[in-house]
Amino acid sequence: MTMESTVAGISTTDSVRYPLDPLTGEEISTAAAIISESEYATPTLRFVMIQLAEPPKPDSLTFDGVEDVAREAFCSLYDTAAKTIYEAKVDVEARIITSWKAVPGRFPSYLMEWMTQVEEVVREDPRWQEAMRKRGVTDFSLAMIDPWPAGYYGPQDHYDNSPLVCRPLTFVRTAPGENGYARPVEGLIVTLDLDTMTVLDVEDHGVVPLPLKAGNYTEQFMFDPDNRPAFTEYRQDVKPIEITQPEGPSFTVDGWHVTWQKWSLRVGFNPREGLTIHEVTYNDRGTVRPILYRGALSEMVVPYGDSSPTHWNKNVFDMGEVGMGFSANSLTLGCDCLGEIYYFDATVNDSSGNPVVIPNAICMHEEDFGINWKHTDFRTDEVEVRRSRRLVISMICTVGNYEYGFFWYFYNDATIEVEVKLTGVITTGAVKDGETPRWGKIVAPGMYGPNHQHFFNFRLDMNVDGPGNSVYEVDSIPEPEPELNPHHNAWITRDTLVASEADGARDWEFSTGRYWKIVNPNKINELGSPTGYKLMPKTVVPVMVQEGSWIYDRARFVQHNLWVTKYDPAEKYAAGDYMYQCAEAQGLPDYVADDAPLENTDIVLWYTVGAHHVVCPEDWPVMPCHYTGFMLKPVGFFDGNPALDLPPSPPACHHHN
């Protein structure tokens, strides 16, 4: 069963829009029309992104009871003739442009239509066609041409002396609908001017034979004996699993506002970040306590560790260069999510400013998560056990060959977890028969997957029990005083205050079990300690990006696991606002440059999680999900176990004697 939203994620009973609600389709159209009819309009002006200009964070950390908050659209635009980005704010109720400014020296992220136009233009280029004929390909309609962002080749890509370019890569199907990534065209690199939609150059580094084995995964092709791996039928021993909630879900939805058990939060969405979470509070025995004002993905990057011509410059920023919201899937009941589902539709824009609805872009449901707590009194045989449950809010995005699932979990013991699920199809390269790739692993005959990594940075605007917060780095170390450790078994925890932004870039340490604690020194629990939450790393991977590479400066945020900054509403993205074809370090290195004090103030955490991918045959033709993420857990925030009041579960499950 599903409960679906009706109009772009807004229930029909919601007559008043909350200041943090995403723009509606009507508001997007209004903002675009106002700009198109203004003195700033030109025939070559295109809308890159139209999204809510979020109002300033109120001292109360909520807009409940706050009146006269303007509904403004933030529009990023690009004039292809002037080669200039513009930023505008539009009051969609007053129907006026409230600000307009040029952003010189930067390139925009992709326009939506470029994703398909690039393929059409490259396919018609005679130089590309000749390179394909050399490889025995004459039916060009079977070519898949992925419009990879330019990366950065060197000073020739700089804004002052370069067009806005992308560098598409080519793959070939043998039949319509096949998995074309099974036949990468190695050594063929196209440079295309996105402003004029013309091919500037075609590099051909030599013919490598196309791999011969298919790598299909759909029912139409999967049982082909030439497929790799080859299967003859679906498994016959998979019995149905049904997840039912006869009394309906435990959550309630009012527009974009969600309440579930003791949690209250607001869901948001925009073209760049996709899913956002706002105003997260927890009802502690009648007292509503703030925890997180805003949380979202702030940037991601995929650097490749392969020196070959086709792969060395792959380091795409899938959010900042493409747009995670633009890439969001329409989710499918029973496949992407199971159970009693509530879907939020999302609305983005095309380059003309028209609204584009993505149905079922955000999925929300509940999941049983095993045991929350249990104890058996062996003297009395008395058993007490409670089950864990979590509220799941998620989106899944397709960027070229990869799928990224972004999942926010809210548990009934007041834990918050963020998880990224990576799946889809690996980027592939071809090798000559008998060759062993140096910078990757063979996954099928004549084909390999390059070594690469994925890094995701999440911006967490923390307000634990209010706006005055401090961050401590917590290390577990052996007792440092020998006279206090005669048995060589004692250890203590050492708290180190992150006092200012100069010390705000922090690294995880395995040997000390390091985590970070966000406390409110103005709120003391009954045991005399400040209330807090701790950020707990899960999977931490080594950063293979090396100083001296172009990507080192472009993605400086990956060089530290955690950055702590003082809240600034203009600082939203870990690698800066516009990183396309830009080699300079932007974003977090700039944000910490003023060395703002961080003690007992409004702080923001920027946490980076990674996935280290040395591919293997089991990753082909579609990669099983790889998981990474982190947790926020209460530490002294409550006076005891906040899940103590969970009711016992009825013995209603089937069993076999």
**Residues belonging to the active site:** 318, 402
How many Å apart are CA 24 and CA 19, to the nearest integer? 12
Q: Are the beta carbons of 632 and 415 closer than 8 angstroms?
A: yes
Alpha-carbon dihedral sign for residues 56, 109, 423, 219? positive
Taking CA atoms, 73 is separated from 76, 92, 215, 350, 654, in Å, by 10, 7, 45, 15, 53
Distance from C-alpha of 604 to C-alpha of 293, rounded to nearest angstrom:
10
Are 574 and 299 in contact by the 8 Å Cβ rule? The answer is: yes
Token pair 């406390």 is found at 519
Cβ count near 413 (within 10 Å): 19
The percent of the chain in helix, strand and coil, each rounded to the nearest 5, is 10, 40, 45
Closest by CA to 131, choosing from 194, 185, 181, 212, is 185
Residues sharing a CB contact under 8 Å with residue 632, sequence separation 6 or more, in sequence order: 291, 292, 415, 416, 417, 460, 533, 534, 535, 536
Q: Which DSSP symbol is given to 56? A: P
CA distances from 304 to 57, 427, 436, 448, 453 (A): 38, 10, 18, 13, 7
Structural contact between residues 596 and 567, judged by C-beta atoms closer than 8 angstroms: no
CB 308 within 8 A of CB 429: yes
Contacts of 142 (CB under 8 A, 6+ apart): 172, 173, 174, 175, 176, 180
Distances (CA, A) of 267 to 22, 264, 398: 9, 10, 21
**Distance between CA atoms of 318 and 148, rounded to whole angstroms?**
10
Phi-psi region of 242 (alpha: psi -120 to 50; beta: other; left: phi over 0): beta
Tell me the C-alpha distance between 553 and 558, whole Å. Answer: 10
Residues 276, 279, 284, 285: is their CA dihedral positive or negative? negative
